Amino acid sequence: MKFQINNLSVITDGDKQSKPIIFIHGFPYDHTMWKKQINSFSDSYYCISYDIRGFGESSQFDGQHTMEMFVDDLEVIIEEMKLDKPVICGLSMGGYISLRALERFQNKFSAAILCDTRSQSDDNQGKLKRAAAIKRINSEGHKDFVKEFISNCFGDHFKQNFSEELKTIIEYSQSFSPTAIKGALLAMMGRTDTTAFLEKIEIPVLLICGQNDNLTPPSVMKEMYHKIKNAEFAEIENAGHLSPIENPEMVNSAISKFLKQIGY
């Protein structure tokens, strides 16, 4: 089912009576990046995904975006849908949203799955890179930026063996508006650092990281893993920064094992 909440496009798969999992996509994608997980988990879980402001079919926004707004949107979806303590599952930018949401209201979740993400905010160099990207998009449009950014995210195994799929992903993301891309860059650039909060997480957390993730490498995610009380870590072979797309079998089996282990 597809409907609008707060002008956001929200998609549900599976039985409403089943336990909910809410999937939050990374940058610059939309909810479709989770299709290989949703296909697998919607038999047993109520899977909710949505397009973050500006992306996919949530397009009626002005691009003046902050991470707080992204988290507010998530909270509205949970409240309006009356979701009972969903598991939250976010990748990279979706992970930033998840971590800040946990910091603001972790009692609304049963557990968290953090894929290819980090708790640190952007350092000065990172902020300048985002600013340069916005300037570049203003002068030459967003298509080349999107192509280069996405190409840099995927690992060699996927690039070599699934080049057509990668091409489709790039073309699809190029169809998003520059307003969406710049809005998310602004939101990520201005996000707060959630590292100090990691030790205050009380719910179970699964951290998933592609073995060849250059953006949020396993060493960075292992540091998070050591700070969280009740955490599991899964390193995904033959995958870069988009592990759920690059090696869905291994990611799905890690998620499945985790959910079983926590009795969800």
C-alpha span between 123 and 74 (Å, rounded): 26
Q: Is 24 in the site for ligand MLT (CB under 6 A)?
A: no
C-alpha span between 199 and 122 (Å, rounded): 20
User: Can you say how many angstroms the Cα of residue 243 is from the centroid of all Cα atoms in its chain?
Assistant: 11
Q: Is 146 in the site for ligand MLT (CB under 6 A)?
A: no
Q: Is 26 in the site for ligand MLT (CB under 6 A)?
A: yes
Q: Indicate which single residue of 11, 20, 21, 27 sits in contact with ligand MLT (rule: CB under 6 A).
A: 27
Interaction with ligand MLT in 31-60: which residues (CB under 6 A)? none
Cβ pair 116, 251 in contact under 8 A: no
- Provide, rounded to whole angstroms, the least separation between the CB of residue 43 and ligand MLT: 27
* b/e 23-61 (16+ beta carbons within 10 angstroms → b): bbbbbbbbbbbbebbbebbbeebbbbbbbbbbbbbbbeb
Q: Is 5 in the site for ligand MLT (CB under 6 A)?
A: no
User: Can you say how many angstroms the Cα of residue 92 is from the centroid of all Cα atoms in its chain?
Assistant: 5
Residues 173-192, one symbol each (x = binds ligand MLT by CB under 6 A, - = not), give ---------------x----
Residues 218-247, one symbol each (x = binds ligand MLT by CB under 6 A, - = not), give -----------------------x------
3-state secondary structure of 49: strand
Which residue, 93 or 111, has its beta carbon nearer to ligand MLT? 93
Give residues in contact with ligand MLT (CB under 6 A): 26-27, 92-93, 188, 215, 241
